Amino acid sequence: MAAPEGKFFIESKLATPAPHHASFKALWETKWKPLCDKGVYPFMFGCTKDFQPVIDEIIKKNLKEPYDWDQYAECFFPKARELAEAAEFAEKDGNKEKASELYLRASALYRIARFPAPRSEKQRYAWEEGKKVARKGLGLHEFPMVQVDIPHVHAQGDDGKLLPGFFHLPATASVSNKVPLIIIFTGLDGYRTELAVWKEGWRTLGCATLIVEIPGTGDNPGTPIDPTSPDRVWSSMFDWIAKQDAIDQSKIVNWGFSTGGYYSIRVAHTHADRLKGVVVLGGGCHHMFDPKWLDHADHLEYPFDLSHTLCYKFGFGHDFDRFKKEASDKFSLLNDGTLTRPCTKLLLVNGTEDEIFPIDDYYLCLHHGMPKEARFIANRKHMGEPESFLIILPWIWELLGIQGNTGQFMSTIPFKPKY
């Protein structure tokens, strides 16, 4: 632990529930509406004028924890379908820009419908429909991001056969003009359909992007409860990347967001020879599985039931007691020896007050294995935003030998509707 006497760094705050857990109304008013107004996570491609009528209906129904996820999800469907139909008309009229925006705005509604994870029938429906409109919207961009289905050639046991990803290769890339590649590992609730927002910034710098989900989320084929399944998935992914002639194989960087950061810490060690460097933003590795932490995390910073969502994601279904009992022995990167293996250049960034994954995990990482770089952002919570991006981007640019402007880059992220 980072604090004395074996305590978490934020030990004194663990027993204080966040106000947004009182009801969906509280969540919207105290946490989500300002983010929706800005068009940033988790409202990428979303806007308040689309969401407000839906939110009003949810508040009218007085939805709150524990949520009926089917009842919750279906509140978003009418508006999402309305936007998708309007997008189809715009596409038929030849207005690609308008169609793209409306498809993506529909995808934002479907995303929040299946948030934080598609654990019910209607949330799974929302994920499938959200993928359809996101692919259409991104495909109509001036610089489209397309889906690639990567064969999982190293699959074993219950693994799936394909790793779907969203991929963008700059128009200037070729065999004679190879470009760097940024691989983004998505998180617990943000999938490739929304982390596609990062494509544009990297495109302007001449970098390709590949965005994939992590086991237990989205369409990742890795068996969720098998701690070694990601190693096989990433081996298949790197085999596919090696066949992309326009990618500079010496300039591949991985960036893991939140829960994706757990997998980035792991891949930095398991596939060190395939990566120029790895960034972990808001990730964990060991203490994130501590039963004491899991007992409190459902009521802290995360919008919904974090610990139970992680239980589902890691393959334990709804058996939370089993998850608490077995997760650390099964998934801890300290207990399985991962942290003592050789690793590539690794940057750890997070806020010291993170209530999703304890900053204590980064402190642990620095005590084991090869030296690593770290930046802790004081008095910030999960992922240390917004300062974290001003640290990470220049670090990657220096690593890849490219020039960039953080203000210009970050200006590509917020969504502002035109239509």
Q: Give 83-104 pLDDT, tens digit per residue.
A: 999 999 999 999 999 999 999 9
Verify whether residue 258 is a known catalytic residue: yes
Verify whether residue 141 is a known catalytic residue: no
Torsion angles phi and psi, residue 190, rounded to 5: -95, 120
User: Taking 90 as the threshold, does the pLDDT of residue 353 lie above it?
Assistant: yes
Single-letter amino acid, residue 96 = K
| CA dihedral for 298, 373, 278, 178, sign (positive or negative) | positive
Instruction: Give me the catalytic one of 296, 299, 382, 388.
Output: 382
| CA dihedral for 119, 320, 228, 396, sign (positive or negative) | positive
CA dihedral 164, 264, 262, 184 (to 10 degrees): -40
Give all domains of the chain, ordered by start, each with its CATH number: 4-410 (3.40.50.1820)
CA distance 291 to 307: 10
Instruction: Give me the catalytic one of 107, 120, 236, 258.
Output: 258
Task: Determine the pLDDT at residue 3.
Answer: 72
Torsion angles phi and psi, residue 284, rounded to 5: -140, 175
**Joined tokens for residue 194:** 């929304």
| Residue 2, CB-side half-sphere exposure with 13 Å CA sphere | 19
User: Taking 90 as the threshold, does the pLDDT of residue 5 lie above it?
Assistant: no
**Joined tokens for residue 415:** 């969504």
Task: Determine the pLDDT at residue 241.
Answer: 98
Prediction pTM value = 0.97
Instruction: Give me the catalytic one of 290, 354, 360, 361.
Output: 354
**Which pLDDT band, with edges at 50, 70 and 90, does 4 fall under?**
confident
**3-state SS assignment for residue 350:** strand
Verify whether residue 20 is a known catalytic residue: no
Q: Give 303-323 pLDDT, tens digit per residue.
A: 999 999 999 999 999 999 999
**3-state SS assignment for residue 183:** strand
